[in-house]
Amino acid sequence: MAWYNTVGPEHDVVISSRIRLARNLADYPFASRLDKTAARELIDKTAAVLLKGETNYKTVDFMSLTPAEARLYVENHSVSPEFIESTLPHTLVADESEGVAIMLCEEDHIRLQVLRPGFALREAYEKACGLDDKLSEGLELAWDENLGYLTHCPTNLGTGMRASVMMFLPALTIHKQIGALSAMVNKLGLTIRGLYGEGTEADGFMYQISNQVTLGITEENSLKKLSDVISQIITRERQLRASMMSDAPDRITDTVMRSVGALRYAHLMSSEEFLRHFAYVRLGIALGLVKDISYEQLGSLLVEVMPATLTLRAGHELDSNSRDLARAKYVRENI
């Protein structure tokens, strides 16, 4: 089970919570100045520490993957798009059941990520801390008494932590309140952005809200601030949904159920269109309008119909039209 096909706390509004830690080894230059041999050595050393005593972890050497296979990991949010472009050796150490994905030799030597379904920042943070302790015990991490953890990019200096929450905000989006929300969270040192871009319907009404400041703040404070803001947004989103339902129940029901119909009947579907229907159906489940589709089912689709995943399932490259056909077919058969 992964973040996208499992539900967690407050799953009507929060899709997933993520903690990411950036760490570097003291004895090696930053990744941009590493050579292949050193990179390989660093990877082996770090992986050995991480894998000690673990049975569920898998190690994926990205140098041995095809481009389509590598993109799959981007699509399920295990690795960053930048990671798969690297020409140095780069490896993922992951435990899907725990939501753990650790990139070795990304921008930093170690990018440790814990992703949990629902609003579960604290849980994700504790898991990340456990892994961080393990790293600290087995390796010498680059750390400065005044600055904290040293990172490749100065914006990560200090805690090296980025906490983020993927929220599902259809009511705030439909009521055009994302602009105001964005201004508010920016003032608090947080950022908000659409899942794939501008934060429209085509993003499935999904937004990532994350902390910006890593320097001069403790992890605890940073997490608390983010959690408080998320809680407020959850409340506001739920209020707006309730008033949408009391103001125009027929119109919402119509929009939601048409999206169910499109997912179940279309034979050609772009990923943009899929995301739009995904979003309305997810809203419909939250509002109790859609009873025969679960969050888990719907969440699986989100990853299963992405281009690289479709391509791998087909076993050969697909042109855009064939992808739209394959996407529609997979959706019809799994919803």
Judged by the rule CB under 8 A, the positions of this chain that interact with its own copies are 250-251, 253-254, 257-258, 260-262, 264-268, 321, 325, 328
**Which amino acid would we find at residue 242?**
A
CB-wise, 182 or 322, nearer to its own copies? 322
Q: How far is the CB of 267 from its own copies (least distance, A)?
A: 4
CB-wise, 101 or 269, nearer to its own copies? 269
Q: How far is the CB of 21 from its own copies (least distance, A)?
A: 45
- Cα–Cα distance, 34 to 30 (Å, whole number): 6
CB-wise, 33 or 267, nearer to its own copies? 267
22 forms beta bridges with 111
CB-wise, 73 or 280, nearer to its own copies? 280
Write out the DSSP string of 213-235. Answer: --SSS-HHHHHHHHHHHHHHHHH
Q: How far is the CB of 77 from its own copies (least distance, A)?
A: 30
Q: How far is the CB of 247 from its own copies (least distance, A)?
A: 14
For the chain, the straight-line distance linking the first and the last C-alpha, in angstroms and rounded, comes to 18
CB-wise, 13 or 281, nearer to its own copies? 281
- Cα–Cα distance, 173 to 207 (Å, whole number): 10
β-strand pairing of 110-117 with 14-23: antiparallel
- Cα–Cα distance, 116 to 102 (Å, whole number): 14
Q: How far is the CB of 333 from its own copies (least distance, A)?
A: 13
- Percentages of the chain per state (helix, strand, coil), in multiples of 5: 50, 15, 30
Q: How far is the CB of 257 from its own copies (least distance, A)?
A: 4
Q: How far is the CB of 253 from its own copies (least distance, A)?
A: 5
CB-wise, 97 or 334, nearer to its own copies? 334
- Residue 7 half-sphere exposure, CB side, CA atoms within 13 Å? 14
CB-wise, 32 or 321, nearer to its own copies? 321
54 is written with which tokens? 């673990």
41, 232, 252, 309, 325 from 259: Cα distances, Å = 51, 29, 11, 23, 17
Question: In 10 A of CB 116, how many CB atoms?
Answer: 24
